[in-house]
Structure 1
Amino acid sequence: MGGGILIVASRAPAARPGHGGTAERPVRAGWAAPYARLLASPDTRAFLLAGLLARLPAGMFSISAILMITAVHGSYALAGAVTAVGLAATAVVAPLTARLVDRYGQSRVTVPAAAVSVAGSLTLVLCVRYGAPLWTLFAAQLATATAPNVGGMSRARWAHLHPGPSAAATAARHTANSLEQALDEVCFVLGPVLATVLCTSLAPQAGTLTAASLLLVGALFFACLRRTEPPVAPRDGSAPSAAPLRVPGMPPLLTAFLATGAVFGALEVVTVAYADALGHRSAAGAVLALQALGSGAAGLAFGALRPTGQVGRRFAGCAGAMAALMLLPLLAAGARSLPVLAPALLVAGMATAPAMVTGMTLVQRLTPPDRLNEGMTLAVTALLGGIATGSAVGGWVVEHLGAVWGYAVPPAAAALAATVAVAGAAAAARPRT
């Protein structure tokens, strides 16, 4: 993936929502007022919808590939290996794709990157369908790593539309990040359900084909919305901004994201194992959905509040609350009852969204504006790495100590995130120079 696949397109002048002749909706009073103000312009509503279409496949691709490969080859080991290779490739390629976005603009990179990823998914379908050699499955999955981080680009648009340190801009970015986090929860709840229904009801390939179609359509829609796109920083020969990894405060912040991802990965694996041990494996999805529901609801409520204090300290406090509430599933698991565990997961989930929202706000604050997409993608990459690590550690604990003790992994990972957040709060609070 390089300059040869970039699409040259003219750039329309950047405009704030509500300017340039677009009509706005009247703002309502009440707790939803911050969201009404945020979405008053059709421009913002449009890119939010496009981003949702392009992000939904993120919750579909892995489970679709697993169901498709196991339906044909009958091997969960092969399916897991193929998806793991794709995840590892994404961890390497995604920051490079984001760097291209920062250099050339969202509209010029999003569609080519999505097209390469979709081509990889279609190739995987064909290789599985027609019995190609097994190495071709891994090769096809490698190409899917170019999928653009539309969630990060959407957050970058909000940061562009509401710049500066003013109280109003800070509150708007806080609300926008909360809304984006709620949408992420929706995608990772509905995505696996939709993929499972398609693969089991229609055909093993249906989930991957639908996800690829949604990604391409969503990317095209998103790239066409030029009015809200952040402008590319002019290349005037001056020294480039520091890489996000070299910005003070970013390494500990990314470590905290890695630990937070481990919370999610461990919860998923341990909950499936716990439900299976009780003879209710099919109910695991519904129980996990409660955790995501709690997170999404808390994220929306959190976004309606006006943030106060230094964002680094807020992040440390939210991570600490997450560590405390993650003890609830561990305590509830001792009852060996899903009806007891379910509300504990619901409440525990309410701590994850505020931590994620505040963490993403901190990423926006620390990252140089001309490398914002790269910074956002590094955060997502850290989360993915944490999910993979948490899944592996949670699975090991379940295998050797039992499903109940598996629930000790999420609070331990959350405590690590809180510790790192506290240690990095001072560096994160320093203003960018």
Structure 2
Amino acid sequence: MTNPYARIFAERGAKGFAAAGFLARMPMAMAPIGIVAMLSQSHGEYWLAGAVSATYALTNALLAPQISRLVDRVGQTPVLLPATLIAAAAFGLLMLAANQDWPIWTLYASALAAAVLPSYPAMIRARWSALFRDRPELNTAFAFESAADELVYITGASLSVGLSIAVFPEAGMLASTLALLIGGLAFIAQRQTEPVPKATARTSAGSAIRQRPVQIVALALIFVGAIFATAEVGAVAITEALGEPGAASLVIGVYAVGSFVVGLVVGALNIRLPLQRQLAIAVAILAVTALPLPFVSTVPALALAVFASGVAISPTFITAFGLIERRVPEAMLTEGVTWVMTGMGIGMALGAFVAGWVVDSFGPFNSFWVSVAAAFLALLTVLLGQRTLAGDARRPVGLQPQPAE
């Protein structure tokens, strides 16, 4: 049997932009927690660290889709190059402000400027779409990207915090910024795989968020992001309550690794079920596997339940991005993918906040009720949106061989 991942990387330029893009997306996981680790040590105030990090994350969530919309209109290089350099310079100013004890407003100003960081996961997926449009290999490419996102989240946050604690407070942010510069500039330099802008007067006048499929998938991913964040908060709180706080990293690792492996397996398969139904099945599995989580009482049981709960995360991401690629006009593709990524980020922020409130108010073992509620809300969103997601494709279907209906 031919390795499907070998096929996608045999395409000219694929290895280069995938490797560069992996580095360029590291700030996605490293920067928010790196800001917290840096400022909590340099200023000794967690509220300040959290506020500056939230300023960066929320502003980036608002700006990233607009940046991607501009990319769809004029191309990747004219937008990515200045945005990447500005973000890297702003991160540098933020590190300098923290190290030199500059006025507090400079921390916020630097964080706001750094928020122009482009969504490199969306840029990478746009390149895969340009290479494999209307071909089954695109499903495998999206599966690889979902697994890569998982790997970044697994390693990035831990690396950022570990460097800040073990080396010096700014070390995590420094590593994140270097990854952005090296990976981003290498990605931009590979012009041969850059998608050609295809915006028209009609498509460029509107935003991808006005597209019903984008609204449905982004809303569903808000709830899925909440599940992802609740798993992390719940694992930390419950293992601490059980007297084994060191087990939290193991539990979180099991959760992410399970999703990573299943995502690679799904990407290697040529599933012939329409994508909107695949998404409904994946989210239904999320909902069912979330039900045992509030009832765990030991670390081994928690690890097992979390592993089971995580197996459908990557398939959910794979089918969600596949639907966006099929249902959104080509001239809006990068922005559409970015809105979905933004939805996931918003969900993670909201999920962490709500789960933390539940831990403080009702105890750590009740935190996973947030996962249960979020999973069933995601399922309801996807089920109600089935007719829209199964609508006429914007071009002949090639990702799966049969019609969506």
TM-score (norm 2): 0.94
Map 1:143-222 → 2, pairs under 5 A: 143-164=113-134, 169=135, 171-222=136-187
In 1, the alpha carbon distance for the partners of 2:209 and 2:167 equals: 45
Match of 1:406 among 348, 367, 381: 367
Alpha-carbon distance between aligned partners in 2 of 1:113 and 1:262, rounded to the nearest angstrom = 29
Specify the alignment match of 1:274 in structure 2.
238
Per the alignment, residue 56 of structure 1 pairs with: 26
- State the distance in 2 between where 1:149 and 1:430 align: 27
Residue of structure 1 equivalent to 2:399: none
**Counterpart among 192, 205, 208 of residue 227 in structure 1:** 192
Q: Residue 213 of structure 2 contacts residue 324 of structure 2 at CA under 8 Å; is this kept in 1?
A: no
* Offset of residue 187 of structure 1: 0.5
Between the aligned partners of 1:239 and 1:278, the Cα distance in structure 2 is 55
* Cα distance between partner residues in 2 of 1:401 and 1:238: 51
Equivalence for 1:12: none
Is the CA contact (8 Å cut-off) linking 2:32 and 2:57 kept in structure 1? no
Within 5 Å, which residues of 2 pair with 1:5-404?
A: 29-30=1-2, 33-164=3-134, 169=135, 171-233=136-198, 240=204, 242-331=206-295, 333=296, 335=297, 337-404=298-365
CA contact (8 A) 1:178 1:299 kept: yes
Whole-angstrom CA distance in 1 between matches of 2:184 and 2:154? 21
Q: Is the 8 A contact 1:242 1:368 kept in 2?
A: no
Alpha-carbon spacing, 1:387–1:239, altered in 2? closer, same or farther (3 Å): closer
In angstroms, what is the RMSD of aligned CA positions?
1.5
| Contact 2:203–2:332 (CA under 8 A) maintained in structure 1 | no
Show structure 2 runs of 5+ residues with no match. Answer: 395-405
Structure 2 Cα separation of the partners of residues 383 and 57 of structure 1: 16
Partners of 1:146 and 1:359 in 2: CA distance: 25
C-alpha distance in 2, partners of 1:362/1:188? 23
Over 3 Å counting, the alpha-carbon distance change for 1:402 and 1:157 in structure 2 is same
Residue 386 (structure 1) shift:
0.6
Question: In the aligned structure 2, how far is the partner of 1:103 from the partner of 1:249?
Answer: 20
Secondary structure (helix, strand or coil) at the match of 1:411 reads helix
Cα deviation, 1:112-169, whole Å, max 9, x if unaligned, reads 11111111111111111111111211111111111111111111111111113xxxx1
CA distance in 2, matches of 1:215, 1:239: 31
* Equivalent-residue separation in structure 2 for 1:295 and 1:109 (angstroms): 33
* Structure 1: gaps of 5 or more residues: 1-28
Contact map agreement 2:67 2:118 (CA 8 A) in 1 = yes
Give the match for residue 403 of structure 2: none
- The Cα shift of 1:320 comes to 0.7
Q: Report the alpha carbon displacement of residue 241 of structure 1 after superposing the two structures with TM.
A: 6.5
Instruction: Report if the CA contact (8 A) 2:150-2:260 is conserved.
Output: yes
Corresponding position of 1:19: none
Partner of 2:397: none
Relative to structure 2, which stretch is displaced further, 281-290 or 141-150? 281-290
Secondary structure of the equivalent of 1:295? helix
The number of equivalent residue pairs is 394
